[in-house]
Each structure stands twice: as structure tokens, then as C-alpha cells.
Amino acid sequence: MKSDLPLVSIWCMTYNHRNYLKDAIESFLRQETDFEYEIIIHDDASTDGTDEIISKYIEMNTKRIKAVIQPYNLYSSLPIKSFNLLVATALEEKTLGKYVALCEGDDFWLDRHKLQLQVDYMEAHSECTLTAHNGVILYTDNRISIEAMDPYGCDKDLSVEELLMWYHGNIPTASMVFKREYAVRKGFFAGTMASGDWEQQLYCAVKGRVHYFDRIMSCYRANTPGSYTCTVWGNDRKRYGIRLDQMYFLRLFDEYTKGVYREFVSEKLYHILITLFEENIDSDMEQFKQMCDEQGRQKDMEYNRFLCQIVEAFNGFKENDFCVEYIKEFVKRHKYLLIMGDGFYGKKMAKSLINSSLDFDGFLVSNGYKQHEEECGKPVWEIKALPFDKNQCGVIVSVGFDKYSEMIQNLLRCGINKYTYLYGIIGD
């Protein structure tokens, strides 16, 4: 017998989406299910008449549609962590469903069987905490075009590694359906970033299993006026801020998961760090520091300490000096210190250590890659011939990004798990 209570609660976050919200709501109402569902719309004090659209649909669908209308714009008034937690809590308080489905007000669903497919799977697989699917991107700026997102290419369970690394792109936000019990992520660094979907995916992944359907069932509008794409990624300062937030999030994720995924966390973090530095290569130190200061306002002390490390690392990047404070602390913690890689970056790291009056025991290279016996007056060892107790060794991975993942895998295979990389930021 069909229950009168909703099994699914659709969360629709909107701000100044008057021209698009109708498409989203209509796509919700077209869902064909053998269960009840509800629609909860959160409007962050829109100024373009979005609230009129919401009121009209509530009048026509009183039992199915609810709204949380904010009296003033929270996003511009609160630190992002407080904003995200407040919005999630406000929505959760009105939520009756066992599952939560996401779709922002300028996106919409394409398949009327979407909810049924995802919920059927989750009901049959109790360990599944989140399902997602393929979607399309609709570009609406200077041209109108559509392309499939295709992050994975087949139906499959997604690993934490895949969700961390985005090898083929991120899964669409409008595709996500997850268990309501994981909606408010207290204790899991909720609200670290402006966009919380990555946090949500990883939270669900470490709590259970994430399943992906390679079926196009949603549409993401890119470059709409006021959209996340335009207001954040189209603005240099905000884009840099997102990169900083992502790195801080990765550090917290590594801490939360007790380093279980450090190989992938450090690789992802390294990639974002180098991208941030390369984007700011023409900035002077004062400009870069000002950007970080702006990002740190209204954030906690731990975040600001992290920003100080980033500023120091950027200075090292500009000056080709890798011996930042984090590296100095890493050196002190290990009986034996080795530099992984004896090429360009390895030699730069060696010079940085020497200039800081810090000693190291030698260079480490992958098995079969030893070209000479010494470099910078220090011995070069293949991993298999390392003469020290591996548990007492600290390794600074000093290679280009294209070789970083391979080097980490080589270290881990040989039982060395105490490592960091050029600028520190994350390590043992």
C-alpha cells in the first residue's frame, strides 16, 4: 500500500532564478513514482521575482511543495561554513523523506523515471548511501549547445579515489540522491567550500557505497547570469578562493579518514596547489598575500594558519626555494631524510635544504632508474637497496606533477609511508 508520507524530499536551492525555476519545478512534478515525494525550495532572498514563481506553485500544489524563504541574503552575510550549515539545517527540519534529491533552481531533470530508478536501487541495497547519474551541460552564453558530461562511461560503484580525483569530471549535482541521515554533516567539516556537493559525495562514500548510473537524466545550465559558473569560476579572486578551499578541505578529509586515502589526497592537493601557483605566477607576493587575507576573513584560526603556509609556499615557488617551514618540521621528525628524485626538482630541494643548514641522507630513485652513484655530494639509492629502516625514513617527493603519482605508488609498494612533497602542506 502506498504511504501518504513522502519517501523522497527534493531540495531545490535558488537565488534569482525567475527565468529558470519553472523548468526545475515542472521537471520535479513530472516524476512518475510508486511513492510520494515532496519539494522543498530554499530561496535566499531573491530580488528578481523568484518568490512569485514559488508562491504560484505552492498555491497549485499545497500538499507537495514547501518553501524556506530567507528575509535577507544569507550567502553574502555569513561565512560560507555557517551559510551551508544553516541552509542544510533549515531544509532538514522541513524534510520528511527517507532520501534527499538535489537540484538547483537553474537546473532541471530530463527523465521522468529518475527518482524511481535511484530509489529502487537504494531500497534494494541498504549499504548504498548515495546514487548519481550522467547528465548534460546546456551552454547558454554566446551560443546554445549541449554536451554530455560522461564522467564514468558505465553503471558502476564509485570508489573514494574516483570521487576524490575527478579523473573524468565530477558527477552532476542535480543527479544526487542520498540518505537523509547524511544530509547535515556535523563533524565532517560541513560547509568548507561554497559548493558542498563534493563534500556530500565523499561523506556518503566513507559512510557506505556510492552507485552511478550511466543514464542521462539531468541538465546543468552553464554560464547563466548569477550562476555559480559565472559568479565564482568567472571571477579570478573567487576562483582562487575556491582552490584554497578545496585544498583546506582535502587536509581535513585526510585528517577525518586518518590518512587512509593520503596517496590520492596528496596527489589531488599537489595538482590544485601547482594550478593555483601557476595562475598567480605574475602576481607579486603582496598581491598574493592580499588575496589570501581576503579569503581568510570570517574564517577560523586553523584555516588562517593554513593560508600562512600557502603564502610561504608561494614565496618558495617564486624564489625556487622549497625549504618552507612545513618541510623544516618534517625534517626534524625523521631519523633518516631522503629526497625522492634526483632530477631538476630533487636538486632544487637539495639546494634548499643545504641553504637552510639542514642535512639529508641521500637521494632515492625507483628501481632500475639509478643513473649515477652520487648527486650533490650525497649517495643515490634505488628503493630496493635502501640501507635504512624504512619505518624511520622520511621522504620528500621532489618530482614533477606528471611523475608524482607513480613515485608515491613506488614508495607505498616498498613499505615507505612517511612522505611529503615539495611545499609540504600535507604529509605524515
Give the pLDDT mean for 267-294: 89
Give one DSSP letter per residue of 12-32, joined into a string. Answer: EEESS-TTTHHHHHHHHHT--
At 379, the amino acid letter reads: P
Tell me, what's the pLDDT at 263?
81
Tell me, what's the pLDDT at 130?
98
Give the pLDDT mean for 336-364: 92
Tell me, what's the pLDDT at 245?
87
User: 173 and 161: one domain?
Assistant: yes
CATH number at residue 119: 3.90.550.10
- Residue 235, phi-psi category: left (phi > 0), alpha (psi -120 to 50), beta (remainder): beta
Of 239-243, 259-263, 318-322, the poorest mean pLDDT is in 318-322
Q: What is the pTM of this model?
A: 0.85
Contacts for 242 with CB less than 8 Å, ≥ 6 apart: 193, 194, 195, 232, 233
Give the pLDDT mean for 247-254: 89
Q: Which structural domain, as residue segments, surrounds residue 249?
A: 235-318
Residue 177 near residue 197 (C-beta atoms within 8 A): no
Q: What backbone phi and psi angles, to 5 degrees, belong to 30?
A: -80, -5
The closest alpha carbon to 5, from 85, 96, 73, belongs to: 96
pLDDT higher than threshold 80 for residue 423: no
- Looking at the domain assignment, is residue 393 inside a domain? yes
User: 264 and 286: one domain?
Assistant: yes
- Looking at the domain assignment, is residue 313 inside a domain? yes
Residue 178 near residue 115 (C-beta atoms within 8 A): no
Give one DSSP letter per residue of 363-426, joined into a string. Answer: EEE-TT----SEETTEEEEEGGG--S-GGGEEEEE-S-HHHHHHHHHHHHHTT---EEETT-SS
Eight-state DSSP code of residue 211: E
- Looking at the domain assignment, is residue 78 inside a domain? yes
Domain count, the chain: 3
User: 75 and 194: one domain?
Assistant: yes
- Distances 84 to 102, 191, 347, 350 between C-alpha atoms, Å: 14, 5, 44, 44
